[in-house]
Amino acid sequence: MRRVYLDHNATTPLRQEARDAMIAAMDVVGNPSSVHAEGRDAKAIVERARGQVAALVGCETQEIVFTGSATESAKTAVQAFGCEYRTVCAAVEHDAVWAHKHIDYAFRTCSSGVLDIAHDFDTEFLGAVNPLDAFAVQAANSETGVLQDVPSDFSYIAERLPMESRLLCDAVQIWGKRQFSFRTSGADAAMISAHKIGGPKGAAALIIRTGVDDVERNPLVEGGGQEMGRRSGTENVIGIAGFGAAAAAAARDVEAGAWDRVEKLRNILESALEAASNRIIFVGKDVARLPNTSCFITPGWKGETQVMQMDLSGFAISSGSACSSGKVKASRVLKAMGYSEDEAASAIRVSLGLETTEEDVLRFADVWTEKLKKHEARAA
């Protein structure tokens, strides 16, 4: 049985370009902080990758801070942005942001998954804003694929808040799938993770806008002063090499429109599933989504059960974000969108990749439909 991997939002297969770059970096012995020739060779690998990542995300090279994960990047930003007060965000934010919050207020989320920030910025709220509050808006939701209009949202916030307020964007899922520029997003900081774009696990970056020195003044990891004092510790040269190569390849794919084909496959999949069941609910189908992501609910059929049954049939999918899909509970994101406890617990996510074929999605639809019929027969 040939397995079909349909969980790319959790992690992507390692690109050949990243593999080659990592193997080459393994032969470089120096510490990138050393001033001798071997150290300079290692430093050159790091700086080349910094430029490649900067080119993908649309920022200056000095705005890239290499970290070990997007979660670390988020924690670094939240701590540095004066969050002894609070971080204002929506309940659909990834745990990387949500779990680190000091929050007594959340943006309202419409049933589509799109934020309604204008609705939330009432007079009472604006009067309670502290100059050191931070505001977080994700670019794309990892569970539903729903996109936010980040430049518009941040512009709306910035026009109404003190200049000291900071704006954080979780852009982990959108980079490498759609054009998205840090430079024009309005964000003060954003996160990117290598393993979401075909790079290795354990390499990521915080993008921090020039002139925002919060991270340098209050770094999460202190010590040797690497990354211009913003994240101490010897850089993961091998992982960073793979990260950079993956970023360069991902930029080429986006520029070439490679994900348009994937979006067509996603639509073929949803049409096939819709034909199999008139009870299925496609989350966020009527708004802008990532091209590869389909989150759908079959009320009364637990998502965890579906994941296990499809796994045994050779398909890798998930019932939520990778950081929480191992937990048997209803999705916090879907509940925040207004779905019931039962509906939120009956959702699965299928996320396609560049190597996914039409045969893959149609075979998935056939097997899933067969499992659905058996479930309905048992429930009758």
Residues classed as catalytic:
323
C-alpha distances (whole Å) from 51 to each of 27, 45, 267, 317, 344 are 21, 10, 35, 33, 41
Q: Cα(108)–Cα(92) distance, rounded to whole angstroms?
A: 9
Q: Is the dihedral of CA 318, 321, 323, 328 positive or negative?
A: negative
Q: Cα(305)–Cα(137) distance, rounded to whole angstroms?
A: 32
Q: What are the start-end ranges of the E strands in the chain?
A: 4-5, 64-67, 87-90, 106-107, 134-136, 166-170, 189-193, 204-208, 281-282, 293-297, 315-316, 347-351
DSSP string of 136-159, one letter each residue: E--SB-TTT-BB--HHHHHHHHHH
- CB neighbours of 208 closer than 8 A, spacing ≥ 6? 63, 65, 77, 188, 189, 214, 215, 230
Q: What are phi and psi of 342, to 5 degrees?
A: -65, -45
Q: Is the dihedral of CA 67, 70, 75, 76 positive or negative?
A: positive
Q: Is the dihedral of CA 229, 232, 233, 236 positive or negative?
A: negative
- CB neighbours of 295 closer than 8 A, spacing ≥ 6? 143, 144, 145, 282, 283, 284, 334, 347, 348, 349, 350
Q: What type of residue is 175?
A: W
Q: Cα(214)–Cα(240) distance, rounded to whole angstroms?
A: 24
Q: What are phi and psi of 372, to 5 degrees?
A: -60, -45
- CB neighbours of 348 closer than 8 A, spacing ≥ 6? 295, 296, 303, 306, 307, 310, 317, 318, 319
